[in-house]
Each structure stands twice: as C-alpha cells, then as structure tokens.
Amino acid sequence: MLTRKQLDLLQFINKRMQKDGVPPSFDEMKEALDLRSKSGIHRLITALEERGFIRRLAHRARAIEIIKMPDGMDGGFTPSVVQGGRVDQPRAAMPVEVDALELPVMGRIAAGTPIEAIQDVSHNVAVPGAMLSGKGRHYALEVKGDSMIDAGINNGDIVVIKEQPDADNGDIVVALVEDQEATLKRLRKRGSSIALEAANPAYETRVYRDDQVKIQGKLVGLIRTY
C-alpha cells in the first residue's frame, strides 16, 4: 500500500519517462510534489524501491527504472536506457527481444557549450522500434558534455531524436543556434524569447530571440553502453 505522496511521485516519474525518455531530476520531483527539501524525495524514492515499484540504477546520475505500477494503473512506461539492442525488462518479467531499427548517428551533439551544427552521418545504430515516437523521421546523436547530467543524460550516451520543427515547454530538444551551433537542452519559451536550459547547475541558462533558434527535434530515447 502506497501513501498519497509515494503514489504521486511514482506517477510523476512514470509520466516524465513516457514523455521525455528520461526520469525527472530531484529538483523537478521536489517542485512537482511541493516539498521543501530533496531529503523528502530521497525518502519517497527509498520507500518505492523497498516496495519493488522502482529500481535505482548504479553508477548513473539519478537514473531510475520503474519496475511496476500499482494494480489498476497503467504501467505502460518505456525504459529510458537501452543496452545492446534489448530493452531492460522489469525483474519479474522474462527477457523479451525487441525488433530493432537502424538509425543514422548524425555525429556528436553538445550537452555543454554549443558545438558546430551536425551535418554528416558517422554510422548507424540499432534502436528498438518501441522507442520510436510515432510517425516521422528519427535520428541519433552522440552526447558530448555533462550539462544534462541531472536529466540522466551522460557524456557518451546516444540520444534518439524525433525530427520536428517545434516542441513544448519542458521538452529536451536539439536546438540550432543562429544556423551555426547545435546543442541539447531543455526548451523554455518566454514570450518572444527562447531559453535553452541545462540540467546541471554548473551551466547557465542561455536566452535567445526566437528567430535565433531553430528546433531540430525532440528527445524520445537514450542508449547507453558499458
């Protein structure tokens, strides 16, 4: 039996993983549940883990995997991390092979200081079809830098991007700045301005006019190798 706060946190994590492909940061959890400190989030996460609803993944910044949802609730989440062409399955489930599709890896994307715009395909990567978000073109990028580490995106990860020209507030996007530099950041629209927000307090939020930024796609998944 879960408390109301435990259930609220589990639902919030599940919705964010379905939407963004990565779990929310502790700050986002604290804000969503209107708690005063991160210690309250730590206690709730520990309680959910002890009850078998989630699992914290070792050696990854705040990475969480949902194992199950309460009876009667939709547990149709998509795990945020794929390894070796297989989707991690809940512990109670038998391993299931997932059909993989080949996506082009369009070079490297900065999760830090913007780098030159990405143009060329370097190689292909196998991605489970279940990770792809609806119709439309998808591509992959290798992450360089640590500015999105609090969103569970590490240096060297492969991010799966759905190509689209716009995105909602809070989405993690590939943004092309002044047709020259590409970066992976969380999108915040503020009137006629666009803020590209890092998920690491060591990096400042950069604000541009809306005509200086073009959205190249939205993050829908992440692949990590060890």
| Residue 19 annotated in active site | no
From the list 147, 162, 189, 218, the catalytic residue is 147
CA 85 – CA 62 distance, rounded (Å): 23
Considering just the CA atoms, what is the radius of gyration of the chain in Å?
A: 17
Q: To which residue do tokens 């009667």 refer?
A: 72
CA 21 – CA 217 distance, rounded (Å): 14
Rounded to whole angstroms, what are the CA distances from 12 to 4, 7, 25, 120?
Answer: 12, 9, 11, 37
Contact 60, 199 (CB under 8 A): no
From the list 19, 144, 185, 218, the catalytic residue is 185
CA 26 – CA 24 distance, rounded (Å): 7
| Residue 147 annotated in active site | yes
Give catalytic residue positions. 147, 185
